[in-house]
Amino acid sequence: MPNHQGSLDRVFHALADPSRRGIVERLARGPASVSELARPLDMSLPAVLQHLQVLESSGLVVSEKAGRVRTCRVEPAVLRAAESWLGAQRTAWERCLDRLDEVLTAGPADLAAGGEDQP
Which of these ranges, 14-22, 44-52, 61-69, 110-118, lies near a second copy under the rule CB under 8 A? 14-22
Cβ neighbors of 35 (< 8 A, separation 6 or more) are none
Angle among Cα 78, 80, 19 to the nearest 5 degrees reads 60
Q: Is 43 in the site for a second copy (CB under 8 A)?
A: no
Q: Is 41 in the site for a second copy (CB under 8 A)?
A: no
- Considering all CA atoms of the chain, what is the largest pairwise distance in Å, rounded to the nearest integer? 85
Output the smallest distance, CB 30 to a second copy, in A: 5
Q: In what order do the strands lie in the sheet with 32-33?
A: 32-33, 69-74, 61-66
Min dist. Cβ of residue 6 to a second copy (A):
8
CA distance 7 to 13: 10
Candidate residues 49, 53, 80, 106; the one interacting with a second copy per rule CB under 8 A: 80
The residues of the shown chain that bind a second copy, judged by CB under 8 A, are 5, 8-10, 12-13, 15-18, 21, 24-25, 27-30, 74, 76, 79-80, 82-83, 85-90, 92-94, 96
